[in-house]
Copies of this chain bind each other. A is one copy, B any other.
């Protein structure tokens, strides 16, 4: 089986290669594609040097294409890749809301991937991290309302986002005035409640993605979701404060027991030992850290919790590779 990465030189592409090196996915060949300006670069995979090629304007000779080169490239080229016979696992938002395209987090709705028509969408990073923790709760207790406030890392804007945070922090520490290019405002020591573009209803597209995609992945259009998406000066891992109103009351102990057995979750919830989810400990980790589990003070029998997940991994590269693994294990790949 041949695997291709489109967008191999970006932050997610870098993580895709690292995850594939440790993956149980059985494949014989890895092809790397990126923009023409990155063509010719060599990258190391399992000790071998692979040369990055310019993404062609037509089919790619691969069985699975992991696409992470932005929405406009996916929009234009994914249909051609499918025509060429590949299954496309797309990390952009281009196809996520297409009713013909499954939106998949394997721990939650892996079976949806099996019904694909060529393209499978990888969810928004904030959504992927939240649903790993929320899906088991929804199945057992029925989530009616979900209120999310995010603490999102600069790597959500790719390697350039992280570079800007580091460079501009140094500028400010050296007595200068930090500037901005990747973000709407300087990010060092600041908080920016603005990720992606604003919609007519006053929410950003990032905030609405959490509502739209959580409903689609959980298969429950009645679920009410509200999000405030905020960029903060961290490098990687998105954290989220989540409040849940439940159909059937739950206690924190019940939720801890439930999530202790949930795939993709690491319970990190011992406040007396100063154990709770944090970017410092969640970065580089496959599992999403879940903690601060406590009874809601505004919803009877509701639950508050805090999650931290590496959005380059579970929020992007890891989830994409896990989709491919799921397909292969279910005999749905060549």
Interfacial residues, chain A to chain B (CB-CB below 8 A)? 145-147, 149, 151, 165-166, 169-170, 173, 184-186, 189-194, 198, 201-204, 211, 224-226, 228, 230, 232-235, 239, 241, 243, 245, 252, 271-272, 274, 276-280, 291-299, 304, 306, 308
Which of B169, B204, B278 is A191 in contact with, Cβ under 8 Å? B278
Closest to A170 in B: B173
- Pairwise interchain contact A225-B189, C-beta atoms closer than 8 A: no
List, in ascending order, chain B residues with CB within 8 A of A166's CB.
173
Q: How far is the CB of A144 from chain B (nearest CB, A)?
A: 9
- Pairwise interchain contact B202-A294, C-beta atoms closer than 8 A: yes
Which of B191, B274, B297 is A211 in contact with, Cβ under 8 Å? B297
List, in ascending order, chain B residues with CB within 8 A of A211's CB.
297
Q: How far apart are the CA atoms of A146 and B166 in the complex, in Å? A: 36
List, in ascending order, chain B residues with CB within 8 A of A278's CB.
185, 190-193
List, in ascending order, chain B residues with CB within 8 A of A272's CB.
198
List, in ascending order, chain B residues with CB within 8 A of A230's CB.
151, 239, 241, 306
- Pairwise interchain contact B185-A274, C-beta atoms closer than 8 A: yes
List, in ascending order, chain B residues with CB within 8 A of A292's CB.
193, 202, 228
- Pairwise interchain contact A186-B252, C-beta atoms closer than 8 A: no
Q: Known: A202-B295, A241-B228, A298-B226. Is A276-B194 also a contact (CB below 8 A)? A: yes
Q: Known: A232-B151, A252-B202. Is A190-B279 also a contact (CB below 8 A)? A: yes
- Pairwise interchain contact A184-B274, C-beta atoms closer than 8 A: yes
Q: Known: A243-B147, A271-B202, A304-B228. Is A234-B189 also a contact (CB below 8 A)? A: yes
Which of B192, B225, B239, B274 is A297 in contact with, Cβ under 8 Å? B225
- Pairwise interchain contact A173-B184, C-beta atoms closer than 8 A: no
- Pairwise interchain contact A201-B239, C-beta atoms closer than 8 A: no
- Pairwise interchain contact B149-A228, C-beta atoms closer than 8 A: yes
Q: How far is the CB of A309 from chain B (nearest CB, A)?
A: 12
List, in ascending order, chain B residues with CB within 8 A of A184's CB.
274
Q: How far is the CB of A272 from chain B (nearest CB, A)?
A: 7
Q: How far is the CB of A99 from chain B (nearest CB, A)?
A: 21
- Pairwise interchain contact B173-A226, C-beta atoms closer than 8 A: no
